[in-house]
Chain A
Amino acid sequence: MNLTSTREGIGIALDALRSNKVRAFLTTLGIVIGVATVMTMAAAITGFRAMVMENIEAIGPNNFIASRFDGTEIRFSDNHGKDPWEGKPALTFADAEMLEALPAVRTVATSIDVGGEVRAGSRAVGSVQIMGRSADWVEYSRGDFLQGNNYLGVHDQRASNVAVLSPDLAQQLFPSGGAVGRSVRIKGREFLVAGVYKLKDNIFASAMKNWVVVPSTTAIKDLDANYDWMDFLVVTERGFTQERAMDDVTAALRSARGLRPAEENNFALIKQEAFKSMFDRLTGVFFIVMVVLSSIGLIVGGVGVVGIMMISVTERTREIGVRKALGAKSNEILWQFLVESVTVTVIGGAIGLAVATALAGLITATTPVNATIPLWAIFASIMASGGAGIVFGLYPANKAARLDPVEALRHE
């Protein structure tokens, strides 16, 4: 089909839209809402994902976690009734010492968490994340001491009652300041506050406000932390790749546990990648839901397009007759009305996109999420609305193309 009739079709469609603004608005409303909703969600998810990825990267791209089993795998079944950690021994302090001796490994911080109440005098804060960490946890973490210092390796060895508080917790327990050197009671035990540590701003930091770090040995001895669930936070030595460090850790743990070559690892090494892919799987589900929602939106909008195009064909029956008398073939009439319906839906899609851009701007302005509409989504939404125009324009356009010229010319 030639370019002229396409341009003419678009021109006719724009004229038709102009001459009946309310109807055009109602026609495109479904498409506008559908596209705007989906694009806003896509922008928000993309922004959120970028933020999560940035935060994961910030932890240190070369760091990884050694764990009894891989908790990042999302399981929808219960793995044949077996617990995922069955047949897998717990990680021990001896393992940590052995791994830290590897040249490719800089630090192995032991990590074991519990929850509980923290008190200072009459003030109490419940549900505090109590993080048992060996003193070298600061090497794995990103942040700064606002007051005081970290505890030392010697406190690990002695299982001393020393603690580092989060700024929020310190603020709540000691509103007048000066937490360092004071004592707090964690799950009823008395601890000396060594410092206040602020994590570098990230979503994990803002999600978890009240936490306290204590030596992992102390957490096990005094705070009922279960030795069986200890993880290692592994920092790769400078000049070594993460891959090398992970290979060495794997080899060392396998040999220590006497695994034969055919046997699978009975421990798990988890990279930042694993968190990323876990997040991607979650957002993937979200995207599927979004595609379904947008399809429903387009179908609802498309039904409107069918109705309005039918009215347009009926109103212009005589014009169709004239065009046929002047030599328009059926296909040329079909093309004209298809171009018209695609123009209507693509304009609807573009308006939807504009609305979504405004909403994304609002999200960016009011939340920490930097919501930007991804380029592929712009492309996809225009394609989808154009596709809806073709699909839903086909029936009315075909009706127009099949009109009998004599009847059409007689139409009042």
Chain B
Amino acid sequence: MSSALIEVRGLQKQYVMGAETVRALRGVDLVIERNEYVAIMGPSGSGKSTFMNLIGCLDTPSAGEYVLNGQPVAGMKDDDLARIRNREIGFVFQTFNLLPRSTALENVELPLVYAGVGKAERKERAAGALGAVELADRLDHRPNELSGGQRQRVAIARALVTRPSIILADEPTGNLDSRTSEEIMALFHRLHAEGQTIIMVTHEPDIAAHADRVVMLKDGIIASDRRQTRVPVGVLAARPESALSEV
């Protein structure tokens, strides 16, 4: 057994829809080491959302093994999965998914509430995480008082605050304009440089280009898995708007 952060063997997932059984994943093997920056790509229906739900411990596989940070999670019960999600995984969603009536600070505190961290430490750590995403001056703002990029940065602070093994980002720039997308990608680069493992699900090649490794799913299996030299930050943002609109 290696010391890999994520080790997936023969992972399968089937859904029963009426009389039909949909095989969303048909046997996926994947090893992700610590401090990797991986993009998972694939057309819709390729099984990438299913794969992300399994990696994120939001769902359990029909068959196969999944070892996350040394813990076999494939057969875990709901409450144990909740604990694993809380400790090991920091989610970043396309639609940010902040609680609308809570302030930035309260939103970032939320995973620490479920981790059972005391109030004083919680506030301090949440403020620290917001500082790390350069929002130290927006602690008391509610989501509707923040721009899209700021909201996503709050969400990233929320993902970071528990010091998770992996950041799992699902189309993190899907609701952002290109300039703001570059900001977020720059932030991901910085986090990665600091040692964070990042797994990013995207269908945009421009965004996937930021990762060190691209895993392509197709019809429920891995079609390709290649390492690449990542695009330097700022290249895409520097491109003229007309070029972007053609993409």
Contact with A along B88-125 (1 / 0, CB 8 A): 00010100010101000000001101111001000000
B83: interface (CB < 8 Å): yes
Quick check: A330 and B78 within 8 Å, CB to CB?
yes
9 A-B pairs with C-beta separation under 8 A: A4-B119, A325-B58, A326-B86, A326-B158, A327-B83, A327-B111, A328-B82, A328-B114, A330-B79
Interface residues of A in 174-199 (CB under 8 A from B): none
Q: State A4–B120 Cα separation when bound (angstroms).
A: 12
Quick check: B111 and A326 within 8 Å, CB to CB?
yes
Cβ 8 A contact of A327, one of B53, B93, B97, B114: B114
Q: State A12–B86 Cα separation when bound (angstroms).
A: 21
Complex contacts, B138 vs chain A, CB 8 Å? none
| Interface size counted on chain B using CB atoms at 8 A | 25
Q: Chain B binding site: helix, strand, loop or mixed by DSSP?
A: helix
Cβ 8 A contact of A324, one of B82, B113, B115, B116: B82
Complex contacts, A19 vs chain B, CB 8 Å? 101
Q: Chain A binding site: helix, strand, loop or mixed by DSSP?
A: helix
Quick check: A406 and B110 within 8 Å, CB to CB?
no
Most buried by B among A8, A15, A405: A405
Quick check: A15 and B83 within 8 Å, CB to CB?
no
Quick check: B119 and A327 within 8 Å, CB to CB?
no
Complex contacts, B158 vs chain A, CB 8 Å? 326
Quick check: A8 and B113 within 8 Å, CB to CB?
yes
Quick check: B110 and A409 within 8 Å, CB to CB?
no
Quick check: A5 and B93 within 8 Å, CB to CB?
no
Q: State A406–B55 Cα separation when bound (angstroms).
A: 12
Q: State A330–B53 Cα separation when bound (angstroms).
A: 18
A293: interface (CB < 8 Å): no
Quick check: B116 and A2 within 8 Å, CB to CB?
yes
Besides A325-B56, A326-B85, 20 other CB < 8 A contacts?
A: A4-B113, A5-B113, A15-B101, A321-B97, A322-B99, A324-B82, A325-B58, A326-B86, A326-B158, A327-B115, A327-B162, A328-B114, A329-B82, A330-B78, A330-B82, A332-B114, A405-B58, A406-B58, A406-B59, A409-B93
A323: interface (CB < 8 Å): yes
B23: interface (CB < 8 Å): no
Whether A326 contacts B91 in the complex (CB less than 8 A), given A19-B101, A406-B53, A409-B58, comes out as yes
Cβ 8 A contact of B85, one of A5, A325, A332: A325
Most buried by B among A5, A12, A19, A326: A326
Closest to A4 in B: B113
Q: State A259–B87 Cα separation when bound (angstroms).
A: 89
Quick check: B79 and A409 within 8 Å, CB to CB?
no
Complex contacts, B115 vs chain A, CB 8 Å? 327
Contact with B along A322-348 (1 / 0, CB 8 A): 111111111110000000000000000
Complex contacts, A406 vs chain B, CB 8 Å? 53, 58-59
A319: interface (CB < 8 Å): yes
How distant is B165 from chain A, measured CB to nearest CB, in Å?
A: 13
How distant is A239 from chain B, measured CB to nearest CB, in Å?
A: 69
Q: State A332–B78 Cα separation when bound (angstroms).
A: 13
Q: State A329–B119 Cα separation when bound (angstroms).
A: 19
In the A-B complex, the 4 residue pairs with the closest CB atoms: A327-B86, A327-B114, A326-B111, A322-B97
How distant is A93 from chain B, measured CB to nearest CB, in Å?
A: 84
Quick check: B58 and A323 within 8 Å, CB to CB?
no
A318: interface (CB < 8 Å): yes
Interface residues of A in 281-319 (CB under 8 A from B): 318-319
How distant is B235 from chain A, measured CB to nearest CB, in Å?
A: 32
Q: State A2–B111 Cα separation when bound (angstroms).
A: 14
Q: State A331–B59 Cα separation when bound (angstroms).
A: 18
